[in-house]
Structure 1
């Protein structure tokens, strides 16, 4: 990538990393599922008026929205409300790469390469180190919920792959149509009508400002940069920049909240990120199959 694209990629990863801090800040005093419902209501409308619906069935849109948006962010927001630090949340969510390889192997018969197996094993070991090395400052249920968020994201990746859904802003916006009402219903069920009604009545600028960042900067600007970079560069040169997000989130959490990870969390996190990098690096066989020179990266699926 040229210098301009490197700067754009760094901006993209930074926006996504800061987003975890913004979620943690904006959700204070607001039920997490209600906060998520507000986010996806604004992702869908008014953008739906200007972006054409992708040429896929409503069943596919519902599956992608239910897994990638509702499942991933529903579990993630509840995990963070339960005490998962934003930096570690961003880190653990990268476990979706490992889960995607496993689900794709079972559901699509897409057997992983040797490099992917090594990366998945290394990344899984890193997750285990984070879990075992937890110092008690945050509950284990928060980790379980964050892993469910990663699992839901991975399942959505496989659905997208199996249905050959075209990537793009249209899919993000239109799949969000199935997300707000179920999240709102779950919030009523989990938090109770009284708490949800009180939260809506007392809605302040803080959750609204956080939602504006989620929608405009993290989703539209970040995703727009991502797609622009993919149109000009091989995907494996672009995708690893997403790993900047957990680094920015962890540094930001340390700077703002003093949430410094312990030795086990730092070691496990480094192992997870290294495993993801290995798992997403194309093999020579993949490069040859795609007609790429041995020194160039292959697009990811």
Structure 2
């Protein structure tokens, strides 16, 4: 990769890691439903200028509801109900494990021997983290968070069906498709008056966080990452996503004073190590398309 593109890949990973912190701050003002709605409403603004990509509506909706709505709404609820930000950034990265697993079940894409080792290591790390559940957040919150990597993994495989389209246009419309039902959900669950009150009394901090999540973390970062995946083999680009949980955990420690007990820290390191083995392993042509990066 060119040095400039390496810098872009690192920048995107840093943006996605810091997005977890921005989400936690925004949740001090907004409900999980409203925050997720605002994120995708902002990211969908380019739809005013770009045409809908040549993707059937059922496929567009399926990708949006898994890759975006399901992933980020469950993530927002989990963080709002106590799952630490740094831990969340690691758990969500386990999507690589589930993506390979789903590809094997649905498409008979067998992982390589090295990938199988990585899956085993990452699974062990998740089990270690499960041993810490109940101390500072509930089992229910952890279960909700696990929806995020599962949903993202399903979205990865569905995204493969959208061929020969401009990624910027596609992601803008995916955001719009997610924003519409999220808006309805917000009005039903929060009520019109509380929703309006939250919007009209938004602080400067909340406004900046939402711009960062919608405009920078979603629109710009997705676009930059898509360009890298277009210009280089996935094996060169995807490993940069391993920086996301490290940035997210470090930023959470600085901003929120988040600490990790020995078992949880060991589990987090084990998960990231397993993911690294999976992403850096030699992959067959068929399976090399199945692992996509985590975006926060």
TM-score (structure 1 length as normaliser):
0.88
CA distance in 2, matches of 1:32, 1:9: 29
CA distance in 2, matches of 1:194, 1:221: 32
RMSD over equivalenced CA pairs, Å? 2.2
The answer on whether the counterparts of 2:41 and 2:214 sit within 8 Å (CA) in structure 1 is: no
| Number of the residue aligned with 2:59 | 60
| Number of the residue aligned with 2:5 | 5
The answer on whether the counterparts of 1:95 and 1:147 sit within 8 Å (CA) in structure 2 is: no
CA distance in 1, matches of 2:187, 2:110: 42
Give the direction of change, closer, same or farther, for the CA distance of 1:169–1:234 in structure 2 (3 Å limit).
Answer: same
CA distance in 1, matches of 2:201, 2:192: 14
Deviation at 1:101, TM superposition (A): 1.5
**Per-residue CA distance 1:119-151 (angstroms, 9 max, x = gap):** 112111111111213471222222211110111
Aligned residues: 290
Deviation at 1:263, TM superposition (A): 1.3
The answer on whether the counterparts of 2:47 and 2:172 sit within 8 Å (CA) in structure 1 is: yes
CA distance in 1, matches of 2:164, 2:270: 32
Give the direction of change, closer, same or farther, for the CA distance of 1:272–1:165 in structure 2 (3 Å limit).
Answer: farther
The answer on whether the counterparts of 1:93 and 1:150 sit within 8 Å (CA) in structure 2 is: yes
The answer on whether the counterparts of 2:38 and 2:214 sit within 8 Å (CA) in structure 1 is: no
Deviation at 1:192, TM superposition (A): 4.3
| Number of the residue aligned with 1:184 | 183
Query: What's the secondary structure of 2:280's corresponding residue?
Result: coil
CA distance in 2, matches of 1:167, 1:133: 43
Deviation at 1:204, TM superposition (A): 2.9
Q: How does 1:256-267 map to 2 (within 5 A)?
A: 256-267=255-266
Q: How does 1:1-301 map to 2 (within 5 A)?
A: 1-45=1-45, 47-134=46-133, 136-162=135-161, 164=163, 166=165, 168-283=167-282, 286=284, 300-301=289-290
CA distance in 1, matches of 2:166, 2:120: 28
Give the direction of change, closer, same or farther, for the CA distance of 1:49–1:194 in structure 2 (3 Å limit).
Answer: closer
The answer on whether the counterparts of 1:51 and 1:170 sit within 8 Å (CA) in structure 2 is: yes
The answer on whether the counterparts of 2:51 and 2:169 sit within 8 Å (CA) in structure 1 is: yes
Structure 1: gaps (5+ residues) = 291-297
Give the direction of change, closer, same or farther, for the CA distance of 1:79–1:184 in structure 2 (3 Å limit).
Answer: same
Moved more, 159-168 or 69-78: 159-168
The answer on whether the counterparts of 1:236 and 1:300 sit within 8 Å (CA) in structure 2 is: no
Give the direction of change, closer, same or farther, for the CA distance of 1:165–1:35 in structure 2 (3 Å limit).
Answer: farther
Moved more, 268-277 or 224-233: 224-233
CA distance in 1, matches of 2:70, 2:115: 25
TM-score (structure 2 length as normaliser):
0.90
